[in-house]
Chain A
Amino acid sequence: MSTKVIHVLYNDDDVLMDAVKTTRAAHHHIEEVYTPFPVHGLDKAMGLKPTRLAICSFIYGLCGLSFATYMMNYIMIQDWPQDIGGKPSFSYIQNMPSFVPIMFELTVFFAAHLMVITFFLRSRLWPFKQAENPDVRTTDDHFLMEVALHGDENEAVEFFKNTGAVEVKVIDKQ
């Protein structure tokens, strides 16, 4: 069974923004929008939920901080508390100032890298991934809105032509 989607192409981001608003007002379901660059406010116009990536990053940072603290405490205080240049290694807090640079860097390292990896996983990006590009022009100077087709095809095509589209195509999607 095949479902039909409409590909609507625009060549201006302002037109696209207006089109997204009228499309949402007419209760057409927008599947996806492809743009060559970030369009400010598009996510809000489409009604997308805000990202939770920053919350993930905060938690990863706490993991990094815990890891650094555990590691330095185990190595420097518990396992082999040597006297190195007179630094007090009797308890963690006594020698803590010299561990702060490591604690800071590992916090940042964990927060940054794990957040990037989370981003890659959630947006399904990896080196040999097949590009999901419906139209090569969308990486250069065109904007493409993909809308699910329900009901009358001609009426829908007519509606999208009125939104300032430069091209409207009906595509069979497997």
Chain B
Amino acid sequence: MYTFSSKLKTFSFILMALGIIGIVYGFLATPKTTEEVEVILSEQHHGGHDSHEAHAAPAHGDANAHGDAHNADVQHHEHQKHLEHVLHQMQNKPWAAVYVGCIFFMLIALGIFTFNQIQYASSAGWSPVLFRVMEGLSAYLLPGSVLFFLLLLASSAHLNHLFVWMAEGITDPNSENYDAIIAGKEGFLNVPFFLIRAVLFLGGWNIFRILSRRNSLALGETGDLTYYKRNFKLSAGYLVFFIVTESIMSWDWIMSIDTHWYSTLFGWYVFASFFVSAVTVIALATVYLKNNGYLDFVNTSHIHDLAKYMFGLSIFWTYLWFSQFMLIWYSNIPEEVTYFIFRIEEYNVPFFLMLLFNFVLPILLLMGTDFKRLSWIITMSGICILVGHYLDFYNMIMPGTVGTSWFIGAAEIGSVLFFGGLFIFVGFSAMAKAPLLAKNNPMLEESKHFHY
């Protein structure tokens, strides 16, 4: 039986508290009016030293070549529109920061559960000793999806402008917000259907998880193999449900932010991103628990296998990333390629840094056989992978919501700390509720003696 150490509990509370402070600060620091935006912009553009001149010449100074009144009027109007545009981006920023952190950790929990179900469906002989770790960590799925659904509700209630297709009048031909392309997608992208889908997907995953956990606990207590068979069938059903819902989920919650853009392998790409993060989190938790003496039945071969998954899935993610990028870059079709042009021009550092963290470092660190057994290598490359995939989600969501006004500041770091702390708290509390060894699993003896 695992007891949630008070040290880790305090640590998770500190993370959550710091996170809330960061998020609240992020919301408070958001400009409320276009005047405030003007001040911020002039400070950014001129480094503060000639900000008075910037005030005097509203349209960025250079457009003021002709002195006639009419021209200045038009410029003033356009400048106001620009300020409003930037204001919306800045008001979106703390929301988007929370959204990225929330979906990232929620999908990690989903990925851990999916990995667990794949182990069941394939009757894997190596992993049953890790089942309770996976079940515990995936317990975050329930609170995570509740919080995430609240965020979706907030967007639907126009508390923020994360989803441009939810904007007022965007499908109304008489409105000045009218967008013919988005109006054409109204059959799929409308708020009621969007929320129904969200309830269906989040609810479905959670029901599968609760049933699977219940069967697993019953199997451990009674030794009745019908529970094992039930879980086996459940996992096969879940995997079918998962792959369909995962694909639609990625269109709904991530791709629809860039409503004018679409990509066919996007669902797989999102899957690869959170799946490799999920396996990494399992590996990190296993290493942590083993080093604290709770997992004596786990040997270096199990850790080696997890590291192989981290290595292989990192390459799989890179393959999908590159396939998506290269096909769009190569054909250079204007309506598709703007997605990447904007990211390369405005998000250059996170866009390419992500490749270093998600591909170059894992492939070099985790290639050697001996390296895959060392806990400090696992920890180091695990942190690289998690940071990299956070950046990946950041790159997917931020350009469509905050545009050029991005910055990794208090709200972004705060939201990672908050959801990370919550993840640790929920995951490890769930682990402390049942013995860490999934007893009576028919594959357990094989798994205990697993040797690679």
Taking beta carbons and an 8 Å cutoff, which residues of A are in contact with B? 54, 58, 86, 97-98, 100
Could you say which of B69-77, B161-169, B203-211, B323-331 contacts chain A? B323-331
Is A97's CB under 8 angstroms from B326's CB? yes
Closest residue of B by beta carbon distance from A55: B368
Is A58's CB under 8 angstroms from B367's CB? yes
Taking beta carbons and an 8 Å cutoff, which residues of B are in contact with A? 322, 325-326, 329-330, 332, 367, 369
Interface centre among A58, A97, A98, A100 (most CB of B within 10 A): A97
Is B329's CB under 8 angstroms from A97's CB? yes
With contact pairs A97-B325, A100-B322, A100-B326 given, residues A86 and B369 touching in the complex (Cβ less than 8 Å):
no
Q: List 12 A-B contacts (CB under 8 A).
A: A54-B369, A58-B367, A86-B332, A97-B322, A97-B325, A97-B326, A97-B329, A97-B330, A98-B326, A98-B330, A100-B322, A100-B326
Residues of B within 8 A of A54 (CB): 369
Residues of A within 8 A of B326 (CB): 97-98, 100
Question: How far apart are the CA atoms of A58 and B366 in the complex, in Å?
Answer: 13
Question: How far apart are the CA atoms of A147 and B322 in the complex, in Å?
Answer: 55
Residues of A contacting B: mostly:
helix
Residues of A within 8 A of B329 (CB): 97
Closest residue of B by beta carbon distance from A86: B332
Q: Which 9 A-B pairs have the closest CB atoms?
A: A97-B326, A97-B329, A98-B330, A100-B322, A100-B326, A97-B330, A97-B325, A58-B367, A86-B332
Extra contacts besides A97-B325, A98-B326, A100-B322 (9): CB < 8 Å = A54-B369, A58-B367, A86-B332, A97-B322, A97-B326, A97-B329, A97-B330, A98-B330, A100-B326
How close is A68's CB to chain B, nearest CB, in angstroms?
15
How close is A17's CB to chain B, nearest CB, in angstroms?
15
Closest residue of A by beta carbon distance from B332: A86
Question: How far apart are the CA atoms of A86 and B330 in the complex, in Å?
Answer: 10
Residues of A within 8 A of B367 (CB): 58
Number of A-B contacts defined by CB within 8 Å: 12
Residues of A within 8 A of B325 (CB): 97
Closest residue of B by beta carbon distance from A98: B330
Closest residue of B by beta carbon distance from A50: B369
Closest residue of B by beta carbon distance from A58: B367
Question: How far apart are the CA atoms of A58 and B367 in the complex, in Å?
Answer: 9
Closest residue of A by beta carbon distance from B330: A98
Question: How far apart are the CA atoms of A15 and B322 in the complex, in Å?
Answer: 52
Question: How far apart are the CA atoms of A54 and B372 in the complex, in Å?
Answer: 15
How close is B411's CB to chain A, nearest CB, in angstroms?
33
How close is B345's CB to chain A, nearest CB, in angstroms?
15
Residues of B within 8 A of A100 (CB): 322, 326
Residues of A within 8 A of B322 (CB): 97, 100
Question: How far apart are the CA atoms of A100 and B332 in the complex, in Å?
Answer: 17
Residues of B within 8 A of A86 (CB): 332
Question: How far apart are the CA atoms of A100 and B323 in the complex, in Å?
Answer: 11
Closest residue of A by beta carbon distance from B326: A97
Closest residue of A by beta carbon distance from B319: A104
Question: How far apart are the CA atoms of A90 and B185 in the complex, in Å?
Answer: 40
Question: How far apart are the CA atoms of A100 and B322 in the complex, in Å?
Answer: 9
Residues of A within 8 A of B332 (CB): 86
Residues of B within 8 A of A98 (CB): 326, 330
Closest residue of B by beta carbon distance from A40: B451
Closest residue of A by beta carbon distance from B325: A97
Question: How far apart are the CA atoms of A97 and B329 in the complex, in Å?
Answer: 8
Question: How far apart are the CA atoms of A54 and B332 in the complex, in Å?
Answer: 40
Question: How far apart are the CA atoms of A97 and B369 in the complex, in Å?
Answer: 30
Question: How far apart are the CA atoms of A100 and B355 in the complex, in Å?
Answer: 14
Question: How far apart are the CA atoms of A86 and B332 in the complex, in Å?
Answer: 10
How close is A58's CB to chain B, nearest CB, in angstroms?
7
How close is A41's CB to chain B, nearest CB, in angstroms?
10
Question: How far apart are the CA atoms of A98 and B329 in the complex, in Å?
Answer: 9
Question: How far apart are the CA atoms of A100 and B325 in the complex, in Å?
Answer: 12
Closest residue of A by beta carbon distance from B370: A50
How close is B360's CB to chain A, nearest CB, in angstroms?
13
Residues of A within 8 A of B330 (CB): 97-98
How close is B334's CB to chain A, nearest CB, in angstroms?
13
Residues of B within 8 A of A58 (CB): 367
Question: How far apart are the CA atoms of A98 and B332 in the complex, in Å?
Answer: 12
Question: How far apart are the CA atoms of A98 and B327 in the complex, in Å?
Answer: 9
How close is B41's CB to chain A, nearest CB, in angstroms?
32
Question: How far apart are the CA atoms of A86 and B367 in the complex, in Å?
Answer: 38
Closest residue of B by beta carbon distance from A101: B326
Closest residue of A by beta carbon distance from B331: A85
Residues of B within 8 A of A97 (CB): 322, 325-326, 329-330
How close is B300's CB to chain A, nearest CB, in angstroms?
16
Closest residue of A by beta carbon distance from B369: A54
Question: How far apart are the CA atoms of A25 and B286 in the complex, in Å?
Answer: 38
How close is A79's CB to chain B, nearest CB, in angstroms?
22
How close is A56's CB to chain B, nearest CB, in angstroms?
14
How close is A107's CB to chain B, nearest CB, in angstroms?
12
How close is A104's CB to chain B, nearest CB, in angstroms?
9
Question: How far apart are the CA atoms of A98 and B325 in the complex, in Å?
Answer: 11
Residues of A within 8 A of B369 (CB): 54
Closest residue of A by beta carbon distance from B327: A97
Question: How far apart are the CA atoms of A97 and B332 in the complex, in Å?
Answer: 12
How close is A137's CB to chain B, nearest CB, in angstroms?
31
How close is B373's CB to chain A, nearest CB, in angstroms?
14
